[in-house]
Structure formats: C-alpha cells, structure tokens
C-alpha cells in the first residue's frame, strides 16, 4: 500500500498545472481523491498561496500519510517547505534565499530520516543580467561542519536559449558530462544529447511537435555499448491533443507501458507553493492542463487506477489572459501600482466580484484595498486583457 500511494502521489503531482487558456473561471484546487486509497487536501492563505497539503487515507481519514507545509516572507516569496512523508514520517526541508530581483540563489535541503539520520545539502545558483542561470553548485555538509562541493554545472546560452550544460565533479577542470541542446526556428527543443567523459555520447532525446507547437512525442535513445555507434530506443512518450489544444492522452512505452487519459474542463489557480511542489515532478513544456479526473493503465499486468478525481472551489470570475495584457509593477504591491498603459480599469477579486473601476493613467493608489489576490482588467481601443496581482 505504501508504494502504491507514493506512486500515485508522484504521478498525480505531475499532472496538475496552471491553465494555458483563458476562460470564465478562476478556481483553486481543494482536494485530489485517489479512488479508495488516499486523499490530498489543500489549504491556502488569503493571497491564494498554497500553505498546506495533507495526504490522508480514504478509509481512515484520521490517519496522516504525508504533509507539506509552505512558508512565505513579506514579499510573498516562498522561503521554506517542510515535507513529512511515510509511516515513519521522514522529512525533507527546503530553505530558500533570494537575490534582490527575487531569484533563488540558495536552497538548503535537510533530509531527516526516521532512524535519526540526517543529510544536509546546499544548492547555490548564479544568474546573468537576462536572468539566465549560469551556474549551479551542489554541496554536502560534512560531519566536521564544512561544505564539500559534490559537483557544479555551468550553463551556456545563445539567443536566450540554453545550448550547453557542463557538469564538473569535485575540482576537475574537465567536465564529466556535457549536454547539448538543439532547437528549431520557433525555439522549440528538438534534440538533447548527453556525452560523458571517456565514453562520448551516451544518451539522446528527440522531441516532435504539431503545427501549433504542442509537443507530440519524446523519444529517448541510449547505447548498449558506449563504444558503438548504434542507438537503441529505451523509452517513448506520446501526447494527443483535442481541438482546444489540451492534452487528452499520454502514453509511455518501455518494458512496461502506461496510458494516461485526462478529462480537462477547468483551470487551476496558480499558487507559488503549489507550483513549487509540482516542480519536483514536472516538465511544464508538455504537462496536460485543466485536469478534473484521470486514470492510468499499465499494459504489463492490466492494472487500471482510479478514477482519480480533482475537486475545486470558487465561482465565476475573470481569468488572467495573454490578450494584450497590461504590464504592472511592483507585484506584490503595498500602495502604488504603476501601469504601462492608459485606459478604463476594473479590479476583480478572486471570487469574480468587481471591487474597483476607474479611468487610469500611469498609476493606481491601492492603499485602501484589502490584501489578497486580484485581477486587473483593462480595455483600450476595443482590446483588453486581465493581469493577476497581489496586494500585500
């Protein structure tokens, strides 16, 4: 049961993300029900940040299997997560530090185990002026209190696209692993090739897309003998989309084959903690959106899960869109919000109620607005859009 729950928990985590397309609803995820096995329960603060996720047993709701707690600072940045899981309640704690521009520069990770063992790691990041990550370091805290660098990765970009990542172990001046990325004219990744020192190319991943830019397949090739030229297909994922561009089916073929089917009709409100939680599992380039239920089938033994259902709360509102949105700053805002356009402004709360409306020029005074998450809607010359902001 423990392994089944953990598998379902991980798979479901990878299936939820924020909406790609605008509609008339802004909802938040309240719970996920894994058939007769377990239920995930979500709690939010008044800024719609996810602050608590609890996994309980469906047949024994008082029995806690896992929980994750999210803490934020005054700037609404996630500064700590505390994840307890398993019957022995092992823990994984993350503590984040940011630079002045709100980018994570340090992630201290503490793993505490039920047998009183503890490991502490530190991830350190550096960025260039365009906010590209240029270096990542991975360190381990030794028993004598000093940090030992396990490896570091250097990143290289061209036309704002990552083209190379070089991994160095210890103090080696020559990279142990080099990963090269190739793109098409639209900036979509076509190929990732990983090479290892002494062996050359050892893994190759190919991506295909439809005419709308939706990723349709991921195929991974490896070499049985690194000294040979022959590539062997080790895994393949395929994605099928409906007429609205939503992914409806994902199939994965390897020694065991899984087929995922989705029913997607509503959008999930994006929250900092919720997205950080999902970030352990997802590649946002192809994750299906707007899930209300899904099941998976493994062809290896015929097992069919679920259905696994997603429950939401909220009411009709205004969704954030990309239709000529207004650029605003700062966000979160405490008093004065600056705009890059003039026009008629409407401010809605996350329940869809209009709370402010006026003709704006370059700024808005929001000092009297209660703290919370809002949508700013603007109409100018017949074109409009909605932009999410947070009042702190």
Q: Give the CATH class of 328-391.
A: mainly beta
Question: Measuring CA to CA, which residue among 59, 54, 43, 49 is closest to residue 9?
Answer: 54
Q: What DSSP assignment string belongs to 226-270?
A: TTS---EEEEEEEEEE-TTS-EEEEEEESSS-EEEEEEE-SPBPP
Q: What tens-digit pLDDT sequence spans the chain (392 residues)?
A: 333 333 333 333 333 322 222 233 345 678 888 878 889 898 888 777 789 999 998 888 888 889 999 999 988 888 999 999 887 789 999 999 999 888 899 999 999 998 889 999 999 999 998 889 999 999 999 999 999 999 999 999 998 899 999 999 877 689 999 999 999 988 889 999 999 988 899 999 999 988 878 788 889 999 988 888 899 998 888 877 777 666 666 676 655 555 555 544 434 444 444 444 444 333 333 333 445 666 666 555 666 666 777 777 653 344 444 445 567 788 778 888 888 777 778 887 755 667 888 777 778 888 888 877 777 777 654 444 567 777 77
**Predicted pLDDT of residue 356:** 84
Q: What are phi and psi of 52, to 5 degrees?
A: -160, 130
pLDDT of residue 8: 35
Q: What class has domain 2-313?
A: mainly beta
Q: What is the pLDDT of residue 267?
A: 42
Residues carrying CATH 2.60.40, the chain: 328-391
Chain region(s) in the chain for CATH 2.40.160? 2-313
Which of 32, 83, 74 is closest to 391 using CA atoms? 74
**Tokens 């503490």 sit at which residue?**
110
pLDDT of residue 303: 66
How far apart (Å, rounded) are the C-alpha atoms in residues 382 and 322?
15
Q: Which candidate, 387, 386, 385, 353, places its Cα nearest to that of 369?
A: 353
């Amino acid at each position: 049961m423990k392994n089944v729950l953990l598998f379902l928990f991980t798979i479901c985590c990878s299936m939820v993300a924020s909406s790609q397309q605008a509609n008339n609803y802004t909802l938040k995820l309240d719970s996920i029900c894994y058939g007769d096995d377990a239920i995930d329960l979500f709690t939010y603060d008044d800024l719609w940040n996810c602050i608590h996720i609890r996994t309980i047993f469906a047949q024994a709701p008082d029995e806690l299997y896992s929980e994750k707690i999210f803490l934020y600072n005054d700037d609404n940045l996630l500064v700590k997560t505390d994840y307890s899981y398993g019957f022995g309640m092992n823990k994984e704690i993350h503590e984040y530090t940011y630079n002045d521009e709100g980018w994570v520069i340090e992630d201290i990770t503490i793993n505490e185990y039920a047998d009183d063992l503890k490991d502490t790691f530190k991830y350190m990041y550096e960025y260039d002026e365009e906010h590209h990550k240029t270096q990542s370091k991975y360190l381990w805290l030794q028993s004598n209190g000093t940090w030992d660098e396990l490896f570091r990765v250097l990143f290289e970009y061209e036309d704002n696209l990552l083209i190379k990542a070089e991994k160095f172990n210890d103090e080696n001046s020559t990279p142990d692993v080099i990963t090269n990325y190739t793109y098409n004219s639209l900036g979509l990744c076509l190929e990732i090739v990983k090479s290892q020192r002494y062996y050359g190319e050892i893994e190759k991943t190919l991506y295909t897309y439809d005419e709308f830019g939706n990723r349709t397949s991921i195929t991974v090739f490896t070499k049985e003998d690194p000294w040979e030229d022959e590539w062997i297909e080790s895994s393949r994922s395929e994605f099928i989309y409906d007429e609205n561009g939503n992914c409806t089916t994902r199939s994965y073929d390897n020694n065991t084959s899984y087929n995922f089917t989705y029913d997607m009709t509503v959008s999930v409100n994006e929250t900092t903690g919720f997205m950080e939680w999902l970030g352990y599992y997802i590649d946002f380039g192809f994750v299906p959106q707007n899930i209300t239920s899904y099941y998976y089938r493994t062809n290896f033994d015929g097992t069919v899960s679920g259905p696994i259902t997603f429950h939401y709360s909220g009411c009709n509102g205004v969704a954030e869109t990309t239709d000529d949105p207004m650029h605003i700053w700062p966000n979160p805002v405490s008093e004065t919000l600056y705009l890059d356009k003039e026009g008629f402004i409407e401010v809605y709360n996350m329940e869809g109620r209009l709370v402010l409306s006026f003709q704006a020029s370059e700024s808005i005074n929001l000092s009297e607005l209660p703290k919370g998450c809002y949508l700013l809607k603007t109409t100018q010359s017949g074109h409009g859009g909605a932009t999410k902001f947070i009042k702190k």
